[in-house]
Amino acid sequence: MKTIDDINFKSKKALIRVDFNVPLNDKFEITDLTRINAAIPSIQKILKDGGSVVLMSHLGRPKEGPEHKFSLQHLVPTLSEKLGIDVKFADDCIGETAEALSGALVGGEVLLLENLRYYKEETKGDKGFAEKLSRHGDVYVNDAFGTAHRAHASTAIIAEFFPNAKMFGYVMANEIASVNTVLNDSKKPFTAILGGAKVSDKIGIIENLMERADHLIIGGGMMFTFIKAQGGEIGNSLVEKDLLDTATDLLKKAKERGIKIHIPVDAVIADNFANDANRKVVKANEIDEGWMGLDVGPETQKMFKEVLLQSKTILWNGPMGVFEMENFSHGTKAVALSVAEATKNGAYSLIGGGDSVAAINKYKLANEVSYVSTGGGALLEYMEGKVLPGIKAILD
Ligand code: 3PG
Ligand code: MG
């Protein structure tokens, strides 16, 4: 696996595909720095060698050309501060002006290009567009793990213009190593915690984990599809009715393979989807009509903690409840604390997926787990065992 550690960048211009698709508030301030922070070490290594850097990324999903709210210019102050230099900006990712700016860079300088998705050629994987982008560098570095599941011009197609000068940055290398530790080299017992709203998003990963995990902890909105599949009463809780049979099959398969599935025994329920709704704790399979489960209850938290503290490898994807609302955040917080405690006791823990990463950051535990992934959809697909185009393009 070729990485940026394999060459010296002195007098070289590195074109790095990063994933700076970060959340911005209405003042265009970045509200979660995970992806920015993750990208800094690769940039610094190249600058330290005496090279220069051209950064390219998408931001959001602009529909038809430029849209101010999706401009990468909003990121320039933060990047400049993090790198301790004035990061330059090109208000177009291709074309004469952008090429003049990248062409004029000297060692130690960084240029950020405007949003790649202002051109539909990016998502279409257009070869001509990829060639134009390729003019910005002598070396192509892919460090955009979060976008590695897309076969886009800048993430995959462009690699063919750098047959002998394409490599992974540290984010990619670390993500690949971390997933490998969990999926192929896990110390037992290996526990996967899956949460979030939908079972449909997680079927692929559950199937793949069936071959590997010892324990599966299920929480979040998706738990109610499992509880209903087992004949429970779930009131007005979230449910995917068309997946009840799938849930039953998964439970059966797990049993056959000796995998323990832990499904919540109690839930915090509410009479309305609001933080100030009336709420109470009940058995998770005895929820009355007019009420909905929005978090796992205290018994469940205890049960999950016991499993986690015995685990030597932990994967966490998806929150346990609606943790954005304080009254329904306790289950997610308890899991975050248990994962941190297990890590302190020597377990390897990988946290991935936008919402679980947001949770781990909210409780300031990012430094107390082994690895926080920058990938959402990309991590899920990778964990499902799929080949990611962004990874394949470098390896080919
Ligand atoms: C993400 O945040 O999921 C990645 O940046 C990829 O973005 P996309 O889902 O719009 O392709
Ligand atoms: Mg996505």
pLDDT band at 108 (very low <50, low <70, confident <90, very high): very high
Tell me, using a 6 A CB cutoff, whether residue 150 lines ligand 1.
Answer: yes
Cα(29)–Cα(77) distance, integer angstroms: 10
- Average pLDDT, integer, range 351-372: 92
Tell me which residue of 140, 145, 135 sits closest to 164, measured CA to CA.
Answer: 140
CA of 304 to the centre of ligand 2 (A): 29
Q: Active-site positions? A: 35, 198, 354, 377
Minimum-distance ligand 1 atom for the alpha carbon of 144: 5
- Residues contacting 306, CB < 8 A, separation 6+: none
Tell me, using a 6 A CB cutoff, whether residue 373 lines ligand 1.
Answer: no
CA of 109 to the centre of ligand 1 (A): 27
Tell me, using a 6 A CB cutoff, whether residue 21 lines ligand 1.
Answer: yes
Ligand 1, pocket-test mutation among 22, 34, 143, 150, most atoms within 8 A of CB: 150
Cα(219)–Cα(225) distance, integer angstroms: 10
Minimum-distance ligand 1 atom for the alpha carbon of 152: 11
Residue with the smallest CA separation from ligand 1 atom 7 is 147
Ligand 1, pocket-test mutation among 31, 35, 58, most atoms within 8 A of CB: 58
Predicted pLDDT at 330:
98
At how many degrees (to 10) do helices 298-310 and 330-344 cross? 20
What single letter denotes the amino acid at residue 274?
Answer: A
Give the tens place of pLDDT for each residue, 196-229: 999 998 999 999 999 899 999 999 999 999 999 9
Q: How many CA atoms lie within 13 A of 144 on its CB side?
A: 29
Ion ligand 2: residues, Cβ under 5 Å: 377
Cα(167)–Cα(396) distance, integer angstroms: 11
Predicted pLDDT at 355:
87
- Residues contacting 270, CB < 8 A, separation 6+: 277, 278, 279, 291, 292, 294, 327, 328
DSSP letters, 249-288, are: HHHHHHHHTTPEEE--SEEEEESSSSTTS-EEEEETTEEP
CA of 24 to the centre of ligand 2 (A): 15
Minimum-distance ligand 1 atom for the alpha carbon of 377: 3
Give the tens place of pLDDT for each residue, 115-147: 999 999 999 999 999 999 999 999 999 999 999
For tokens 């599935």, what's the residue? 261
Tell me which residue of 194, 224, 239 sits closest to 286, measured CA to CA.
Answer: 224
Give the tens place of pLDDT for each residue, 251-289: 999 999 999 999 999 999 999 999 999 999 999 999 999
- Average pLDDT, integer, range 28-38: 94
